[in-house]
Every structure is written in structure tokens, then in C-alpha cells.
Amino acid sequence: MSFRLSQRDKDIIAFINQFRAVDRDSLVDLFFKQLKSPVNACNSVMVRLYRLGVIERTQQYSPTVYLPVDAKD
């Protein structure tokens, strides 16, 4: 399966890898604030990245917390 990641996708992945655990609201503030529906846009992008297998997530918290792929729960 071939897929292309936008620069924003790469920046989000790098940010999650650097900080190890990032909640959705922090991602909204950093990467999606300028959009019309920042929370919806963030949710869509993060679900896509999760399904591609480039990030992990835990839904133990609200909002969802995103983790690097190599993270252990």
C-alpha cells in the first residue's frame, strides 16, 4: 500500500515521537488552529495516521492521547 504524507503529517509524527505522548487538544492548538473546524480536522487526520500505522493511540483518556508506534501501554 502506497501513501503520501503531507508536511503537516510528518511534523505531527515528529512531534509525537519527540514528546512521547500528546493529547488531541495540544495537536489542535499547534497544527489545526487556523482551520474552520480545527477539532474535526485534527480527528480526521489522526484517525488516518492511526489507520496507516504510523502512530498509536490510547483512548483511556479524554481527549484521546497519541503515542509513537514503538510505545508500550
pLDDT confidence of 73, banded at 50, 70, 90?
low
| pLDDT the model gives residue 39 | 97
| pLDDT the model gives residue 4 | 87
State how far the Cα of 73 lies from the Cα of 40, in Å rounded to an integer. 26
| pLDDT the model gives residue 26 | 97
- Is pLDDT at 25 greater than 80 in this prediction? yes
| pLDDT the model gives residue 71 | 62
Average pLDDT, rounded, for the chain: 92
The answer to whether residues 28 and 43 touch, using CB atoms and an 8 Å cutoff, is: no
Mean pLDDT of all residues in 41-56: 96
